[in-house]
A = this chain, B = another copy of it.
Amino acid sequence: MVEEKFPDGSAWMGGEFINLSEAKISVLDWGFLRSDATYDVVHVWNNRFFRLDHHIDRFYSSTKKLRMPCKIERTELKRILAGCVKRSNLKNSYVEMIQTRGMSPTFDRDPRKSTPRFIAFAIPFGWILKPENFNKGLDLAISTVKRISPESVDPKIKNYHWLDLVIGMYEAYDKGHYTTVLVDNNNNVLEGPGFNIFSVDDQGLNTPLSGVLEGITRQTAIDLAKELKIPTKEISITSEKFKNSKEAFATSTAGGIIPITKIDGKVIGNGTMGTITSKIKDLYWAKHTDPDWSECVEDLL
């Protein structure tokens, strides 16, 4: 077999910590063959988990909604996640917890006949946009692809149904843009591959109300804006309104608060990171040492 290269990192599967290169699932797992799985991703910055309980709450909620409640209780789950980070020897990392439907030894098509599988891994922290490019900002294309509707798949269950986003990414690449934002049936902008979006106007922040993942970083931006006395509206945003933003930014565990400076070729604000975006971004990173917002990896082992 061809030797594959892996990023640094460690994983936990089947009751033990393993090398990331050994973290493999059977091709018969319904988590693969039906994308019948849910997950969450938390990050560690300078050896501290950021808002870990928020991520674990959402993960528990997602697994319950998919009728396969995670059986690992919170302290043990934290011990597993912290163990992956510790063994990875990474100061800044991206830590994913996954539950799949598992597999049936007889390939039975009834999901109730499978045993759910829990997996966790830590890898180096990743950025949707590298910090050295923050002043350049994200160049987004508004996609013609519609985000999978909440009437089909509840976006509050964090899921791997990404083909709409992937097709949107290729569409953006073809037009020379960096990434994409998908729309709903009424051409309101919703979210991009791995990030929520915010539009800044004279009244404050606006972010789509529904049809999107309720991102933890999205909630964090709302919380931080409140602390900064900037009002936030959760509201539908038309493509037109989005393009006419005073400032715009994306939120993601993979990079925090990320400036958007171009939408469909239109320059947003003065084409660099906006003042409000910058304030929220700075407060976001400041919270990473605050014990009310973060937990030390060592304390969870």
A159 within 8 Å of B by Cβ?
A: yes
Chain B residues near A287 (CB, 8 Å)? none
In the bound assembly, the distance between CA atoms of A7 and B193 in angstroms comes to 36
In the bound assembly, the distance between CA atoms of A90 and B162 in angstroms comes to 35
Interface band, chain A: 35 or more
Closest to A169 in B: B111
In the bound assembly, the distance between CA atoms of A121 and B26 in angstroms comes to 11
CB distance from A158 to the nearest CB of B (A): 11
CB distance from A188 to the nearest CB of B (A): 14
A35 near B98 (CB under 8 angstroms)? no
List the number of copies, as a whole number. 2
In the bound assembly, the distance between CA atoms of A147 and B103 in angstroms comes to 24
List CB contacts (< 8 Å) of A34-88 with chain B: 34-37, 66-67
B163 near A35 (CB under 8 angstroms)? yes
Closest to A36 in B: B166
A1 within 8 Å of B by Cβ?
A: yes
A126 within 8 Å of B by Cβ?
A: yes
In the bound assembly, the distance between CA atoms of A4 and B24 in angstroms comes to 13
B119 near A27 (CB under 8 angstroms)? yes
B166 near A163 (CB under 8 angstroms)? no
In the bound assembly, the distance between CA atoms of A166 and B30 in angstroms comes to 10
In the complex, 19 of the A-B residue pairs with CB atoms within 8 angstroms, ordered by the A residue number, are A1-B13, A6-B105, A23-B26, A23-B27, A24-B27, A32-B32, A32-B37, A33-B160, A67-B170, A107-B123, A107-B124, A107-B126, A109-B194, A110-B169, A111-B166, A149-B152, A152-B152, A153-B163, A157-B163
